[in-house]
Amino acid sequence: MKRVLLLKIFVCLVVAAFAISGTLSAFNPVDEFDEDDLDFGGATVTYVLWYNPFGAFEEGGDYAGRLDEAKERFNIGSIELLELPWGDELRETMTSRLMGGEADYDVWMLPHVQFWPMAAQGALYPLNLILPEEYYAGLTRSAQEIADVFSIKDEKYSFGLGGLPTGYFVWNVDLFERENLTPLDELWENDEWTWDKMEELAIQATRDTSGDGVIDQYGLDETNPIFFLLANDGRITREIDQERVFTLGEEQAVYALEKIYEWNEVLEIADGQWGAPEFIAGNRAMAGLEQWQIEQLPEQMEDTFSVVPYPRGPHAERHRFPSSAVEGYFLPASSANPEGLVALHHFLWPVEEAIEDSEEYYTDISPDRVSYEAFMDGEENWSGEVYAAEGILGSFWEGDTPVGSAISSIIWGGESAVSSIEAVNEPAQSLLDDIFK
């Protein structure tokens, strides 16, 4: 799987951490911290990120001049950006800056893939040392969940506006009408949008449309195993009694992986690749995409599309909203002024503005009313559906890692799910123990 992360994602990263109805935490660092902590004495603050969020502060931007206001308000010499590629170079540069004594006034953004390796090195500042519970309790549900993703036992490491590109199901309205299939918006609104119904529709949509004996229209595009696992309330790891436990062998996870094999290899109703090019071309009835990918569909496809949540798995009590790239803001362990840096960040990006901007953003990318309601449902009800241990246990497409080995054996090799997972259980748990113990 390729990761194509666009600068446009910044908008959804900002708004996705906070539900529309959310309010700023009762503990606002700009107001609550001592004035002495807000004086940087002319120091340079550096944001280390994989994208440039400062465009709105430039001339012509919505918040032009705010950087200058911040420098004056906090007595900062300069606020600079160190923009790096998304991936290992980000973590390596941060580690180098920390070891070289250059990170004392840094603010870092890390994806979940990079978080645990950094935390294991002791490279991050535990923010619960300066931020009380009311700071996190005052955030919206999704923001609290992001903070929990970036926590180890009782220590919280992230703050501010995190990033949450969430997964949804898109369906080709024109194809559904042509094949006389039950519309997904109708199923969702009637609480009938389940895996069984999805499978039934995918079977009906899969056929040879040209008469040459070869199937060219499928019900499903790529079936992301992590997303379906999460949509069925599965987790690859869980925190149990303050211990991080490898849980890929749980019933809901095993069921999801075996189902994906069935859809791909037995029923042969799913066929596709990352980015869903065949869905875009009009040859797939349904596909799972993240909101930043859905944002681009109007310019990419001719057919009409609409959006609903992922179908509810048989082990799930409600619809889940899987994500592949939860991100957060962090401070290095050497932080010289953690209170001031957190306050500066809230000054630059007040939560109220993100809430105000989000309704307009989702209105712009929603093709219809039901799609907008699906996006809002995801905003308000995301509850930690992400493979948080990916940076430790490996991505599902990496066959030489514990998770990748097990999943590839099951969904591509047709091997027993129980035995495939048992084979990696001990090495996977050992890797987790190395981090958490």
Q: Per residue in 90-132, pLDDT tens?
A: 999 999 999 999 999 999 999 888 898 898 889 999 999 999 9
DSSP 8-state class, residue 36: G
Q: Does residue 35 fall inside a structural domain?
A: yes
> What domain range is 68 assigned to?
9-164+324-368
The per-residue pLDDT for 17 is 43
The per-residue pLDDT for 242 is 81
pLDDT band at 4 (very low <50, low <70, confident <90, very high): very low
Check whether 244 has a pLDDT greater than 80.
Answer: yes
Co-location of 125 and 85 in the same domain:
yes
* Residue 265, both tokens: 């290899």
Co-location of 213 and 258 in the same domain:
yes
E strands, 241-304, in order: 243-246, 284-290
Mean pLDDT of 199-215: 94
Cα-based angle 171, 173, 174 (whole degrees, multiple of 5): 130
Per residue in 30-51, pLDDT tens?
Answer: 898 999 989 999 999 999 998 8
DSSP 8-state class, residue 224: -
Per residue in 246-303, pLDDT tens?
Answer: 999 999 999 999 999 999 999 999 999 999 999 999 999 999 999 999 999 999 999 9
Q: Does residue 379 fall inside a structural domain?
A: no
The per-residue pLDDT for 87 is 81
The per-residue pLDDT for 2 is 32
Q: Does residue 254 fall inside a structural domain?
A: yes
Q: Does residue 305 fall inside a structural domain?
A: yes
Per residue in 165-197, pLDDT tens?
Answer: 899 999 999 999 999 999 999 999 999 999 999
Co-location of 269 and 388 in the same domain:
yes
The count of structural domains within the chain is 2
Check whether 9 has a pLDDT greater than 50.
Answer: no
Distances (CA, A) of 319 to 69, 225, 314, 322: 43, 16, 10, 10
d(CA 437, CA 430): 10
Check whether 65 has a pLDDT greater than 60.
Answer: yes
Co-location of 203 and 158 in the same domain:
no
| Residue 285 CB coordination number (10 Å) | 27
Distances (CA, A) of 429 to 58, 92, 146, 229: 48, 25, 23, 19
3-state secondary structure of 232: coil
Mean pLDDT, all residues of the chain:
89
What's 391's domain CATH number?
3.40.190.10
d(CA 422, CA 416): 10
The per-residue pLDDT for 21 is 43
Residues 6+ apart with CB under 8 A from 170: 276, 279, 286, 287, 288, 289, 294, 297, 305, 306, 307
Co-location of 136 and 184 in the same domain:
no
The per-residue pLDDT for 6 is 36
Co-location of 279 and 421 in the same domain:
yes
Distance of CA 295 to the CA centre of its chain: 15
Co-location of 267 and 413 in the same domain:
yes
Q: Does residue 4 fall inside a structural domain?
A: no
When comparing pLDDT for 219 and 437, which is higher?
219
| Residue 427 CB coordination number (10 Å) | 14
The per-residue pLDDT for 361 is 83
Domain boundary among 336, 368, 400: 368
* Residue 23, both tokens: 């309010």
pLDDT band at 20 (very low <50, low <70, confident <90, very high): very low
d(CA 186, CA 368): 13
Co-location of 265 and 226 in the same domain:
yes
Q: Does residue 376 fall inside a structural domain?
A: no
Check whether 15 has a pLDDT greater than 60.
Answer: no
d(CA 85, CA 51): 8
Co-location of 72 and 221 in the same domain:
no
Co-location of 234 and 290 in the same domain:
yes
| Residue of 177, 166, 219, 171 whose CA lies nearest to 378 | 166
Domain boundary among 310, 342, 368: 368
Per residue in 121-154, pLDDT tens?
Answer: 899 999 999 999 999 887 777 778 889 989 988 8
* Residue 59, both tokens: 């001339």
Residue with token string 């959310």: 22
| Residue 30 CB coordination number (10 Å) | 16
Q: Does residue 374 fall inside a structural domain?
A: no
Distance of CA 436 to the CA centre of its chain: 23
Domain boundary among 312, 336, 368: 368
Mean pLDDT of 320-337: 94
The per-residue pLDDT for 1 is 34
Co-location of 152 and 235 in the same domain:
no
Q: Does residue 356 fall inside a structural domain?
A: yes
The per-residue pLDDT for 25 is 53
Check whether 314 has a pLDDT greater than 60.
Answer: yes
% of the chain at pLDDT higher than 90: 65
Co-location of 62 and 144 in the same domain:
yes
